[in-house]
Structure 1
Amino acid sequence: MEREALPDWVIPPPGGFTADHFLSMRGLPRHTELIDGSLVFVSPQRKWHSRVINLLWDELDRQAPEDLRVDREMAVKLAKRQVPEPDVLLVTAEAYDREEPATYYLPEDLLLAVEAVSPDSEERDRGTKPAKYAAAGIKHFWRVEEDEGRTVVYVYELDPGTASYVPTGIYHDRLKVTVPFDLDIDLNAVGKRR
């Protein structure tokens, strides 16, 4: 009986994978990320996760100025061994419309990265990924969590002096901010049909 060859990504090279190697791999499960040179696989998501991403994507897209676009679950090549995939991304219209690179964005393309926290991603979404987004110079970061059935958005802005995020607000029922642009989202609408 002949065994099938394992994909090249099953066994990492010494020192881990690089972003360029990762971005050229084929056959990876959907939404695989590269964090610190290691592949991170996503487990099946809860309904809340999908619904909150849909709400934020819809509202950001509806309210964004013409020079900005919204995308979801796209890779961002942050550094040599870092290619996370934010749940929602606010990017420049130029980056959104360009043909290449077609499978990822660069940090300078993003104004905002959003992560909706799942049980299997708590440590990455609360610590690892925000630190990497900040180090790459992405100006805004939102962490979205479910707390006893309510959606909570933690909003952060990059402090250029420390190259780290500082909290600018915690929003429970309504997300109303003026940066990166004037925005008003009813967080109670997660999962409700419009």
Structure 2
Amino acid sequence: MILTEGSAAVSTALPSWMYPPRDTGWEADDLDLLPPDAPRHIELLDGALILDTSPRRSRHDRVIRRLTAALEAAAPSGWTVEAQMTVKLNRRSRPEPDIVAARVPYDPERTRFLPEEVALVVEVVSAESEHRDRRWKPGLYADAGIDHLWRVEDENGLPVLHTYELDATTRGYVATGVHRERFKTAVPFALDVVPADLAR
């Protein structure tokens, strides 16, 4: 379809890769087959393709980079910490947490993690992602059996860490703390950070 806007023609046709590759819809492995010109950040949540094309805010990126660096420095040998890499939870869901800590060695050819490899997922909440990060993705992570979830919220311009641990009986997350001044933990491995330093 072509619309005219003033003297310029504007195409509203979707690129061919955005159409599901089969009648049954998108599957997690399809993300590996997207063309190079597809957006960098694409998730699959319950079969719905989610494209994040919003501009990245510097604060959001800085918190991800600094927390990733802190986790990398603290991770035991044989662990991998990655920023913005997908986790194939099941056939129809492959979210992209902001940070993943996994009990597997670094593999330069890796394109995703599996839930049994992942000990921790971190979501840094933004205005564009708040519903997914607070409501939708935690349920998917819990169903897949990922032990730890951290959510970083902005509170008066400073990061605040909300931490959760999986209750294996209910398959739901239980809140373990809200950390403003200092966050010190032994799980999934020892870490000691000052949340405010993640944004300074």
Q: What is the rounded CA distance, in whole Å, between the counterparts of 1:134 and 1:87 in structure 2?
A: 16
Match of 1:190 in 2: 198
Shift of 1:191: 3.4
Runs of 4 or more off by more than 4 Å in structure 1?
A: none
Match of 1:52 in 2: 63
Match of 1:76 in 2: 87
Task: Identify unmatched segments of 5+ residues in structure 1.
Answer: none
Match of 1:61 in 2: 72
Alignment of 1:12-161 (within 5 A): 12=20, 14-26=23-35, 27-42=37-52, 43-94=54-105, 96-97=106-107, 99=109, 102-161=110-169
Q: What is the rounded CA distance, in whole Å, between the counterparts of 2:104 and 2:194 in structure 1?
A: 25
- For 1:140, the aligned partner's letter is H
TM-score for the superposition, normalised by structure 2: 0.86
TM-score for the superposition, normalised by structure 1: 0.89
Match of 1:180 in 2: 188
Percent of aligned pairs sharing the same letter: 45
Shift of 1:103: 1.1
TM-aligned CA distance change 1:160 to 1:177, over 3 Å: same
Shift of 1:175: 1.3
Match of 1:170 in 2: 178
Q: What is the rounded CA distance, in whole Å, between the counterparts of 1:132 and 1:63 in structure 2?
A: 27
Task: Identify unmatched segments of 5+ residues in structure 2.
Answer: 1-10
After superposing the two structures, state which structure 1 stretch, 18-27 or 75-84, moved more: 18-27
Shift of 1:8: 3.0
Shift of 1:97: 2.9
Q: What is the rounded CA distance, in whole Å, between the counterparts of 2:125 and 2:15 in structure 1?
A: 29
Let me know the Cα RMSD of the aligned residues: 2.1
Number of residue pairs the alignment of both structures matches: 188
Q: What is the rounded CA distance, in whole Å, between the counterparts of 1:78 and 1:93 in structure 2?
A: 16
User: SS of 2:77's equivalent?
Assistant: coil
Q: What is the rounded CA distance, in whole Å, between the counterparts of 2:16 and 2:92 in structure 1?
A: 17
Shift of 1:151: 0.8
Shift of 1:98: 7.1
